[in-house]
């Protein structure tokens, strides 16, 4: 096999591949064995039609596509290695020659990982940020603790308020006609959360349990459904039940109930200590992130759009998984946020672009500084993960290996070591 790589423009090029005729004929043999099992010819059982009769009746050309399906993946993979390129997307393949007894020739238009021209990445300085723990931040944390241990109490009498958990039945109508996706029963909605279309939750406030109300809202102009975008709709809503947080008193009894301490002052001191530990971690993370961003800003990269799109695919998937943990689907989120997937992707695009730029920059710095993840580094990482997940390191290694995850683990460790290098070479301390 022979391969020739020719860069055309930016990060695209053409990989011309020639596969020996003997391999083509072998693939045609494989294709025939597969296809003949499905062919019916009078006088022959399935799979027993002679090759010459098959070709006389159907033509050898009928085997070409199956033979290509056999040849192309392996030939392309070998050609990529031979050319020393790193594709970032599926190639566009054009078969120039496919014929029995002749070499296969195909051209693959490929988008490859871009070259990174590094700028300054040593002795970097970043904007300082205050991570000190104040009395106000301690009080705010105690308030959050109080909220977490609040008891949800059913409200039998009285109107719904912001902060209440309202359970509602609703159905949406536009011009008197119910629209798809606008109906739900026993839906739990925290009033004031901003989950629903603007103006909806505010009109639930004031309802009593069992009370029904027609709520009028206007869908955003950019709403994903053109039938509803910019239009007024009426939701018939019934408040079926209501729960309200009953906050515990912040006193010594509260400290005993939620911690190992006997007094509120002891709980407060421990809370401050934990906040200071977290503050140190937050500062470390901030310094690391800012240094990476600074190095990426200083680098010159002609970023292929397809890499950003792949990153967006991953981010949308991650967002959907987070919604599932909260009991919501992407479809329902789009329904009540007024967005569609294309608008969500636009919203995430800047972050996706930054992710790809920083990843490429760190990879380039790692190569420039000969930073590698050693077997010892990876074993140390596996031991840390073993402590986190409570499973033996050897078991985790088997899991990573079975799922082809060891390469990703090596990359993660190498990336962390590269960021460690940036911190060590910077003008700030984490």
pLDDT of residue 429: 64
Distance, CA of 16 to CA of 76 (rounded, Å): 10
Distance, CA of 256 to CA of 266 (rounded, Å): 10
Q: Return the SS3 of 52.
A: helix
Closest CA to 257 of 154, 149, 331: 149
**Continuous H helices in 101-215:** 135-148, 200-204
Tell me the pLDDT band of 77, cut-offs 50, 70 and 90: very high
Closest CA to 335 of 239, 236, 227, 238: 227
Judging by beta carbons within 10 Å of its beta carbon (0-12, 13-18, 19+), is residue 214 exposed, middle or buried? exposed
List, as one string, the DSSP characters of 85-126.
Answer: --B-S--EEEEEE--TTS-EEEEEEEEBPPPEE----SS---
Tell me the pLDDT band of 82, cut-offs 50, 70 and 90: very high
- DSSP H or E segment with residue 51: helix 51-58
Distance, CA of 36 to CA of 55 (rounded, Å): 11
Q: Please, what is the angle between helix 264-298 and helix 406-424, to 10°? A: 90
Three-class SS string for 380-398? HHHHHHHHHHCCCHHHHHH
pLDDT in tens, 345-358: 999 999 999 999 99
Contact 261, 255 (CB under 8 A): yes
Distance, CA of 94 to CA of 91 (rounded, Å): 10
For the chain, the distance separating the N- and C-terminal CA atoms, rounded to the nearest angstrom, is 52
Instruction: For domain 151-246, give the fold.
Output: Chitinase A; domain 3 (3.10.50)
Distance, CA of 250 to CA of 264 (rounded, Å): 7
| CATH 3.30.70.1050 for the 2-113 domain, yes or no | yes
Closest CA to 409 of 388, 364, 379: 379
CATH of region 264-425 = 1.10.3120.10
Q: Return the SS3 of 150.
A: coil
Average pLDDT over every residue of 140-149: 92
Distance, CA of 257 to CA of 63 (rounded, Å): 75
Distance, CA of 365 to CA of 367 (rounded, Å): 5
Average pLDDT over every residue of 2-23: 93
* The residue to which tokens 């460690």 are assigned: 420
Contact 298, 119 (CB under 8 A): yes
Q: Return the SS3 of 284.
A: helix
Distance, CA of 247 to CA of 243 (rounded, Å): 13
If you average pLDDT over every residue of the chain, what do you get?
A: 91
Which range is least confidently modeled, 310-314, 328-332, 412-416? 328-332
Distance, CA of 308 to CA of 314 (rounded, Å): 10
pLDDT of residue 356: 96
Domain residue limits, the chain: 2-113, 151-246, 264-425
Give the list of residues 6+ apart from residue 410 with CB closer than 8 angstroms, or none: 373, 378
pLDDT in tens, 346-400: 999 999 999 999 999 999 999 999 999 999 999 999 999 988 888 898 888 888 8
Distance of CA 59 to the CA centre of its chain: 47
Q: Return the SS3 of 72.
A: helix
Q: Return the SS3 of 1.
A: coil
Contact 381, 321 (CB under 8 A): no
Question: In this structure, what are the phi and psi dihedrals at residue 222, rounded to the nearest 5 degrees?
Answer: -95, 15
Distance, CA of 232 to CA of 217 (rounded, Å): 6
Give the list of residues 6+ apart from residue 11 with CB closer than 8 angstroms, or none: 88, 111, 112, 113, 114, 302, 304
Average pLDDT over every residue of 59-72: 94
pLDDT in tens, 212-252: 999 998 888 777 677 778 888 899 999 999 999 889 999 99
Name the β-bridge partners of 7. Answer: 13
Local structure of residue 306 (DSSP, 8 states): H
Distance, CA of 249 to CA of 93 (rounded, Å): 70
pLDDT in tens, 17-48: 999 999 999 999 999 999 888 887 877 777 78
pLDDT at residue 299 is higher than 90: yes
* The residue to which tokens 């021209």 are assigned: 117
Distance, CA of 90 to CA of 197 (rounded, Å): 40
pLDDT of residue 311: 95
pLDDT at residue 430 is higher than 60: no
Kindly state the percentage of the chain with pLDDT values over 70: 99
């Amino acid at each position: 096999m022979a391969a020739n790589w020719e860069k055309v423009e930016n990060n695209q090029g053409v990989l011309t591949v020639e596969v020996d005729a003997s391999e083509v004929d072998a693939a045609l043999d494989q294709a025939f064995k597969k296809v003949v099992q499905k062919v019916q010819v009078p006088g022959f059982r399935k799979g027993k039609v002679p090759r010459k009769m098959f070709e006389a009746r159907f033509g050898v050309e009928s085997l070409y596509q199956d033979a290509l399906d056999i040849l192309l993946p392996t030939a392309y993979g070998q050609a990529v290695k031979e050319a020393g390129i790193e594709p970032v997307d599926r190639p566009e393949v054009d078969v120039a020659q496919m014929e029995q007894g002749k070499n296969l020739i195909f051209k693959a238009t490929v988008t490859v990982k871009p070259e990174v021209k590094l700028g300054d990445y040593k002795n970097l300085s970043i904007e300082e940020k205050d991570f000190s723990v104040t009395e106000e931040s301690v009080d705010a944390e105690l308030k959050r603790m109080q909220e977490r241990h609040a008891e949800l109490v059913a409200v039998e009498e009285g109107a719904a308020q912001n902060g209440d958990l309202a359970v509602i039945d609703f159905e949406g109508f536009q011009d008197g006609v119910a629209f798809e996706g606008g109906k739900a029963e026993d839906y739990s909605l925290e009033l004031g959360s901003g989950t629903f279309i603007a103006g909806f939750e505010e009109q639930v406030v004031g309802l009593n349990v069992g009370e029904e109300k027609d709520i009028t809202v206007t869908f955003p102009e950019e709403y994903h459904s053109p039938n509803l975008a910019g239009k007024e709709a009426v939701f018939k809503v019934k408040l079926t039940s209501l729960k309200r947080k009953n906050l515990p008193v912040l006193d010594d009894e509260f400290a005993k109930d939620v911690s190992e301490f006997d007094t509120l002052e002891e709980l407060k001191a421990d809370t401050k200590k934990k906040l200071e530990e977290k503050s140190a971690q937050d500062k470390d993370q901030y310094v690391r992130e800012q240094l990476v961003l600074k190095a990426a800003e200083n680098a010159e990269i002609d970023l292929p759009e397809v890499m950003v799109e792949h990153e967006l695919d991953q981010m949308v998937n991650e967002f959907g998984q987070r919604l599932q943990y909260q009991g919501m689907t992407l479809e329902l989120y789009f329904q009540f946020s007024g967005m569609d997937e294309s608008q969500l992707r636009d919203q995430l695009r800047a972050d996706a672009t930054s992710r790809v730029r920083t990843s490429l920059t760190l990879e380039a710095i790692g190569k420039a500084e000969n930073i590698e993840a050693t077997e010892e580094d990876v074993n140390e990482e596996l031991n840390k993960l073993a402590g986190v997940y409570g499973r033996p390191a050897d078991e985790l290694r088997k899991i990573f290996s079975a799922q082809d995850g060891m390469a990703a683990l090596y990359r993660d460790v190498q990336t962390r070591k590269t960021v460690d290098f940036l911190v060590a070479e910077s003008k700030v301390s984490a």
